[in-house]
Amino acid sequence: MKEHIESMKLIGRLADALLAQQTRIELLNKAMLNFIPDEDRRGNQLIQ
**Whether pTM exceeds 0.85:** no
Residue 43 contacts residue 36 (beta carbons within 8 Å): no
Residue ranges per domain, the chain? 1-25
Taking only the tens place, the pLDDT of each residue in 2-18 is 999 999 999 999 999 99
Taking only the tens place, the pLDDT of each residue in 16-40 is 999 999 999 999 998 888 877 666 6
AA letter at 19: L
Give 9's contacts (C-beta < 8 A, 6+ positions apart).
Answer: none
